[in-house]
Amino acid sequence: MTSLDSLPQELVDMILSDLTLFDLTKIRLLSASHNSRFKYLYWSKVFTEIRLTLRTAHLQRLLNLLKGSRDELKQYLRYIIICPIDSYNEVKDPKVKLFLKSIMKELSYLETVEFDIPERSLNAIDHWKPVIDAIIASNHRSITTLKSPRCGLAMSSFNVQDSKLASYSTTFQNLKSLEVSTSVQFERAEVTFAFWNWINVIGSNLEELGVAGYRSQGITRPKPDAEGRYLPKDFDLPKLKSLELVDVCLTLRDLKTVVRNTAVIEEVRIVGCVAEMNRPSYFFKFLKYLKDEKATRLQSLELILSGYHDDIVSYELPNISFTGNWADPKTLTMVELNPRKDAYINALAYTSQKHLWTELSTHNNTVDFWSSLTDGKWVDRDVTIWKKQMWAGGRKGRPGRDANCEWARLFKVHAVYYDYPDPRWVPLQDQTRVNIEVVNEVFERGGVVWGEGDEKDEE
């Protein structure tokens, strides 16, 4: 009769993988041989992750445990999650850095470091810096996954000296997955450059990259260098397979550089990113680049563009997404305009499916491409009405974000102007006194239809 001892280890792992810790404990108690063979599976479930706060008492207990543990146990301690504490005095205690350095030296098999810091935390850098410094000081080479605090680190935090950059390069030479959130009030070109230079330094083996930007003053467009870039000239992520960008400021040249190794790129997700006034041309040229450079391994694409106000109210870009081999005619792309009816009241919602590869092969200019992809709906008055209402109401940006605008330059408002965030919110007794009429000729004369100087498709 076949027993567990006679089965290959891979098959045993499959059989026991769904068992609870209680069941595994009972199996280990059956015999000494079972205990010896299956304790690794028990430990791997127990020590799936370590949740750690930067309190000296907590760090001291973990350090004592690690010093008393055998190496065969430490090999299962590969995932650590840093949890927040609100006390400024506790996290700034000098003992925290000393304990962290000792702990990181003991965690010689550590692979993943995640910061579970909420979006509204004010001391993210006080959690990030001592942990990263401790990892570098311990001469680790095993880190493969790094996830920064979700609340966003000040972009200036990545503007480090060259000697420190060398330490980052050595320590994170095996990094494969990076998720980083940045926070900036007014973005400056030199700070943006320093951030992407930091990614370049640690990205030689990077396969997954996710970058999100949080801006307290709305999207800003710092002036790039003379060559139209924020990225270093030698920027290269040769093994990048997956890219996610959320509200990140990059020029078209930069975006092409990030995905330059199109032979390996498999997944791209972009939410609202732009650094150039001409959004239609920007994203058309990016998609065209992916096709022309034979990004045939691309299996998933998602561009979230609908609902982002770029000061030009005469068009609305759609959300675009597909999964599968996009060169295959059977792989259709979902095209959606104003999909959130709750956010864009009175705006026409439009959905269709197109073969993106064919659309890019057929059309060679911006207007023809977007017109064909959306069946002309991207400039439809009923589709773009939400933008026009926000302009007249004194708001720009994505619905829900405050901003100022010169609404009177683009609209004829018949009656008294009421400072409501959205004309739809005008009290019922006043609604008859507000009548907004869009004057398209004004847009054209002001150069705000396609953006100043963007009527051509040259870079």
pLDDT of residue 210: 96
pLDDT of residue 369: 95
* Beta-carbon contacts of residue 87 (< 8 Å; ≥ 6 apart): none
CA dihedral 390, 391, 393, 398 (to 10 degrees): 30
- In the chain, the amino acid numbered 228 is G
Q: Which residue in this structure is represented by tokens 């092969």?
A: 361
List the domain boundaries for the chain.
59-70+85-107+118-379, 394-445
DSSP 50-111: EEEE--HHHHHHHHHHHHTS-HHHHTT--EEEEEP---HHHHT-HHHHHHHHHHHHH-TT--
One digit per residue, the tens of pLDDT, for the chain of length 459 reads 566 667 777 777 777 777 777 777 777 777 787 777 777 777 777 777 889 999 999 999 999 988 877 777 788 888 999 998 877 788 888 999 999 999 999 998 899 999 998 766 668 888 999 999 999 999 888 999 999 998 888 888 898 888 889 999 999 999 999 999 988 766 677 888 899 999 999 999 999 999 998 765 555 566 777 777 889 989 999 999 999 999 888 889 999 999 999 999 999 999 987 766 678 889 999 999 999 999 999 999 999 988 776 667 778 899 999 999 999 999 999 999 987 665 566 677 889 999 999 999 999 999 999 999 999 999 888 888 777 666 665 544 444 443 333 333 333 332 233 333 444 444 444 433 333 343 344 444 444 344 333 444 444
Burial of 202 (0-12, 13-18, 19+ CB in 10 A): buried
What the block records as the tokens of 179 is 């998720």
Nearest to 312 by CA among 290, 282, 287, 356: 282
pTM: 0.80
pLDDT of residue 187: 64
pLDDT of residue 222: 67
How far apart (Å, rounded) are the C-alpha atoms in residues 65 and 380? 66
Kindly state the greatest CA–CA separation across the chain. Answer: 91
pLDDT of residue 449: 41
Burial of 311 (0-12, 13-18, 19+ CB in 10 A): middle
Q: Which residue in this structure is represented by tokens 């930091």?
A: 198
The helix-helix angle for 9-16 and 32-46 (nearest 10°) equals 60
* Cα separation values, 306 from 335, 365, 379, Å: 10, 20, 13
How far is Cα of residue 183 from the mean position of the Cα atoms in its chain? Answer: 13
Burial of 40 (0-12, 13-18, 19+ CB in 10 A): middle
How does DSSP classify residue 84? Answer: P
Burial of 201 (0-12, 13-18, 19+ CB in 10 A): buried
